């Protein structure tokens, strides 16, 4: 006895599934072929580059970097940056010696010229002591007024230690004569020759009051300092 089987068409959904599987397989085979071609091409290019360049060259990041720097040094000057504006002697009677001291109110020299040409700070008295209320009443300066420059203290501000030195202890033997000034301090002639700033403090003065001075009066005069 024979049995007959009728073959019915596949449902549409099954047919589409089979077709999708076939499409995926074809795409995979196509991609594999493309990858093989690209690999072969890459090997060929590498071999060609090696033959042209010799040893393969590799670029490395530089671990250092340079920065150009510049500055401009301008012309400076030679100056006195400070001097006491007022110096008061102790009150004393005729025929005695009175004193004054600048203490911490210093005389500051400053040389920023850059030439290392050296300098001197000098001083002279403009006039005799005279009464504030009667200028014609005066006390002589000559040989009676002296400073003790050599006992003063010098400290460097921007200069180097030892490059500024004190002047000599001396009497003021002239009045209003810049040409006969006394030296307060100067460069030492060593190193940078006094370049930079220096502060001279504790400058002491003595004055011998004349025996015939008019008492109960205030007297004054002017000390002029110059740096050159």
What's the rounded Cα separation, in Å, for the pair 152 and 101? 10
Residue 110: pLDDT over 70: yes
Give per-residue pLDDT as tens, 17-32. 566 656 656 566 666 6
Residue 89: pLDDT over 70: yes
Give per-residue pLDDT as tens, 154-181. 999 999 999 999 999 999 999 999 999 9
Share of the chain above pLDDT 70, in %: 74
In a domain, residue 19? The reply is yes
E-assigned strand segments in the chain: 78-82, 97-101, 107-111, 120-125, 129-131, 138-139, 145-148, 153-156, 164-166, 169-171, 182-187, 196-201, 204-208, 219-220, 223-227
Give per-residue pLDDT as tens, 183-210. 999 999 999 999 999 999 999 999 999 9
Contact 114, 192 (CB under 8 A): no
**Domain encompassing residue 221:** 78-227
Higher pLDDT, 39 or 228: 228
Residue 204 CB partners (closer than 8 Å, separation 6+): 99, 100, 101, 102, 147, 148, 151, 152
Residue 149 and residue 46 in one domain: no
Residue 34 and residue 115 in one domain: no
How many domains, the chain?
2
Residue 82 and residue 52 in one domain: no
Higher pLDDT, 139 or 8: 139
Residue 41 and residue 86 in one domain: no
Residue 130: pLDDT over 50: yes
Residue 18 and residue 127 in one domain: no
In a domain, residue 69? The reply is no
What's the rounded Cα separation, in Å, for the pair 115 and 7? 118
Residue 1: pLDDT over 80: no
Higher pLDDT, 140 or 60: 140
In a domain, residue 67? The reply is no
Split at pLDDT 50, 70, 90, the class of 45 is: low
Residue 44 and residue 146 in one domain: no
Residue 170 and residue 204 in one domain: yes
pLDDT at 38: 64
pLDDT at 61: 83
- Residue 141 dihedral angles phi and psi, to the nearest 5°: -95, -40
In a domain, residue 68? The reply is no
Residue 175 and residue 93 in one domain: yes
In a domain, residue 179? The reply is yes
Contact 185, 198 (CB under 8 A): yes
Residue 43 and residue 150 in one domain: no
In a domain, residue 63? The reply is no
Residue 185 and residue 104 in one domain: yes
In a domain, residue 31? The reply is yes
In a domain, residue 150? The reply is yes
């Amino acid at each position: 006895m024979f049995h007959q089987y009728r073959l019915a068409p596949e449902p549409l959904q099954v047919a589409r599934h089979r077709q999708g599987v076939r499409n995926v397989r074809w795409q995979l085979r196509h991609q594999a072929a493309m990858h093989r071609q690209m690999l072969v091409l890459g090997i060929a290019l590498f071999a060609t580059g090696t033959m042209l360049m010799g040893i393969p060259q590799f670029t490395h990041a530089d671990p250092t970097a340079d920065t150009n720097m510049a500055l401009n040094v301008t012309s400076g000057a030679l100056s006195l940056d400070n001097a006491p504006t007022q110096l008061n002697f102790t009150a004393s009677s005729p025929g005695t010696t009175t004193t004054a001291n600048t203490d911490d109110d210093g005389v500051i020299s400053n040389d920023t010229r850059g030439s290392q040409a050296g300098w001197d700070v000098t001083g002279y008295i403009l006039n005799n002591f005279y009464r504030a209320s009667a200028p014609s009443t005066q006390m002589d300066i000559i040989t009676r007024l002296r400073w003790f420059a050599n006992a003063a203290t010098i400290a460097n501000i921007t200069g180097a230690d030892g490059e500024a030195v004190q002047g000599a202890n001396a009497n003021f033997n002239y009045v209003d004569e810049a040409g006969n000034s006394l030296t307060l301090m100067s460069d030492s002639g060593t190193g940078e020759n006094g370049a930079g700033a220096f502060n001279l403090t504790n400058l002491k003065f003595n004055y011998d009051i004349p025996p015939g001075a008019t008492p109960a009066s205030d007297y004054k005069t002017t000390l002029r300092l110059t740096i050159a």
